Structure 1
């Protein structure tokens, strides 16, 4: 066991904790290290499709909202890679997904205290110690050797995992796959005569568009898209709507009751689940040009349809479909299926067994989180357990927003340091959300 007591240990190294590490690198106030089970940093490798962009502008990088002078800004990345002029002439606010991944890898390679290929297999609460802290058990992936570390605070950034329909995980990956594996299985898809994508979000449209490009080189391939939603609806990018991704709105949202927050999330659906308008325009334009002379029978788009099951046959697969508005059930044959069915929060195996009885729950399955992202415990502790995972219920639609993730890290850093290391932005909206001042 290491005798050293760290101020902070981060569990998982995705963009959120990587941004935390980048901000901490520029201050000596907090001594922190981070562990990640994968052997190297890579961001959604199965969906790094060429020509596809992030849905947020380049200013929502790892650090700019906290420290635009940081050496880890996206602008400095462009400068260091001689891409300032191309980016300037490109005149596009959004960053290509592949370039964003390369930017993240560039930052990760410069930071100390990031340990890849190391899985946190247990966290033990040492609340009775003279200095209350956590003991972190880490297993080295390549050797299985365990090491033990100690930290006053924990930040859990274990991200999300693919959401798969019940039973479909038993089907061959090369035939029925989640969109997170799309590029890994793309060669198998291109050999098929009929590929069906299931989903109504950004990932579904990106896969569909990419395969439409491939379809032009293979005239026999048929493509189908089934969406449970009422249609292919675009993300709300209106300027006043975007103010829901500000610290002011998070302040307002967090103070609401759980029932009020649930209702607010329903109203914020177009901000969370829509498709980028540029992506929809690209799809419509491509289909319009392709059907100038005649209808293209190789493309089928069917909204308002749930996929209730998939049955393997000798010739491929049968989708069990239900058009929920008409209440019509039918089967639909296909060779391959891409499930763009989203993600769910990922929790380590040790999390609930260790902490379920010690933390506060707003209701079953929904833990209570403070404004500064601490799990709320039943005792009044000073060794905090911060979470970056599963925060939509407590902090709103912006819980997964890349720009707000920087603001979240500011809160956590300032709480640990017990002083202002990075300044929180104020007065960032033209709207006032609360009426408390008028009581």
Structure 2
């Protein structure tokens, strides 16, 4: 048992907790962060060449809190001798591969990051004289359990692939989630017919990448989307203000029912496709079909895939429904890529230890304060923060990289009991709430 009492322990090392570790370095607060993967990797199965982030480069680990931090993207470019190439490239969006390399660069410089350590339990010691958490980590290399103590915990366990019911157990090389795309790409390119199921950014990126890899029309490509069409992300200036702290304040103040209803209205901000990606796809399709060739590309909107099963003639049969026409049909393909999104990953130990101690919005959503603390039934000064599953409590920006630094500022300031970093509360031209309106 280590005798050190950390101010905070982070569970999971993705961009959010990595950013928290970077901001903590300039403070007097002590922290340790644990990740089950052997090294840092950000969506390695989807680091497709020529694909960019959907947010500008300022949405890095530190800039919104501390532009002078050594962990900004601009300092990364400086250290990599890429300032002039980036300047001449004249783009605000960063290639996904470069963003991943930037995060790895930052992780390699930070102390107290423990990779290859799975958190298997978190014990709440709610003692009157010394309330704290005991975090138990399993080290993959040695198989040993290590115990750490912390005044506060931040759960950043991320998400896991969302698979359509009944599709587990099929061969990974034949029916796969987009999170494994690059691992299986070479195998996919040998297929006669590949079908992508989904309508979001990942679906279009994979479909576009396969389209650009087609050689001599020897592979048929299909895209089945449940949505009414391929709609672009709303990038209008005022629409982007829904990703500001001011709107998060407003959204969080609503009732749970109002928040859930409001999420539906924010669909174009959450589920749309990057306009540049759609333009590139349309241009590729136009050039590819010059001369009238259309047989090798199929895009079917308004199509829901109900089930997938092995076919007697090889490959797979997809049971589909065109929901607007209410027509059921069977669709045959050799390979299937599921761009069905992700769901929050909540560890089993969380339910075992905390389900009865915290307050819930409903049967599956826990209650979270504005500064990202779980609401416990008792009053406490040792807090359990969460960066996981926040869309219903903090709005569309809960998964937006542009608000990640703001979240970490809230957490650090709460732990410290003072404003260590400036919290930019009202950077919006729009006024969302009228509760304090005065004539």
Q: TM-score, normalised by structure 2?
A: 0.98
2:184 alignment partner in structure 1:
185
Contact 2:10 2:17 in 1 (8 A): yes
Look up the SS of the partner of 1:315 in the other structure.
coil
| Aligned-partner SS, 2:348 | coil
Q: Cα distance, 1:218 vs. partner?
A: 4.3
In the TM superposition, 1:146-185 aligns within 5 A as 146-185=145-184
- SS of the aligned residue for 2:321 comes to strand
In structure 1, how many angstroms separate the alpha carbons of the residues matched to 2:69 and 2:61?
10
1:273 pairs, out of 267, 271, 274, with: 271
Name the CA distance, whole Å, in 2 between partners of 1:340 and 1:388. 23
Aligned length: 437
In 1: Cα distance, 2:188 partner to 2:284 partner: 21
Tell me the equivalent position of 1:23: 23
Partner residue in 2 for 1:134: 133
**In the TM superposition, what is the alpha-carbon distance from 1:219 to its structure 2 partner?**
2.0
C-alpha distance in 1, partners of 2:403/2:346? Answer: 22
The match for 1:299 is: 297
CA–CA distance in structure 1, aligned partners of residues 216 and 261 of structure 2: 47
Q: Deviations over 1:121-148 (max 9, x none)?
A: 0000000252100011110012210011
Deviations for 1:209-259, whole angstroms, at most 9, x for unmatched residues?
0000111x2421000000000000000000000000000000011000011
Q: Does 1:229 align with 2:231?
A: no
Could you tell me how far apart the structure 1 residues matched to 2:338 and 2:361 are? Answer: 32
**Structure 1 residue 341, shift from structure 2 partner:** 0.3
Once the two structures are TM-superposed, the CA of residue 426 in structure 1 deviates from its matched residue by: 3.4
What is the match of residue 109 of structure 2? 110
Unaligned runs of 5+ in 2: none
Residue 436 of structure 1 aligns to a residue whose secondary structure is: coil
- Structure 2 distance, partners of 1:312, 1:101, is 36
CA contact (8 A) 2:212 2:284 kept: no
**In structure 2, what is the equivalent of residue 368 of structure 1?**
367
Q: Is the Cα–Cα contact under 8 Å of residues 191 and 334 in structure 2 kept in the other structure?
A: yes
In 2, Cα distance between equivalents of 1:163 and 1:426: 34
Determine if the alignment matches structure 1 residue 8 to structure 2 residue 47: no
Deviations 1:320-365 (A, max 9, x none): 0000001100101100000000000001120011100000011111
Give the 3-state SS of the residue equivalent to 2:45 in structure 1. helix
Scaled by the length of structure 1, the TM-score of the pair is 0.98
Cα distance in 1 between the residues matched to 2:12 and 2:435: 39
Deviation per residue, 1:238-291 (Å, 9 max, x gap): 000000000000001100001111111111010000000000000111111222
Name 1:72's counterpart in structure 2. Answer: 71
- CA distance in 2 between counterparts of 1:200 and 1:337 reads 14
CA RMSD between the two structures: 0.9
Structure 2 equivalent of residue 325 of structure 1 = 324
Query: Judging changes above 3 Å, is the alpha-carbon distance between structure 1 residues 19 and 300 closer, same or farther for their aligned structure 2 residues?
Result: same
Matched, 1:214 2:204: no
Q: Distance in 2 between matches of 1:251 and 1:13?
A: 26
| Alignment match, 2:342 | 343
Instruction: Output the CA distance in 2 between the equivalents of 1:390 and 1:426.
Output: 22
Separation (CA, whole Å) in 2 of partners of 1:125 and 1:22: 26
- Mapping of 1:371-382 within 5 angstroms? 371-382=370-381
Residue 428 of structure 1 corresponds to: 427
How far apart, in 2, do the equivalents of 1:189 and 1:26 lie?
47
5+ residue gaps, structure 1: none
Contact 2:22 2:110 in 1 (8 A): yes
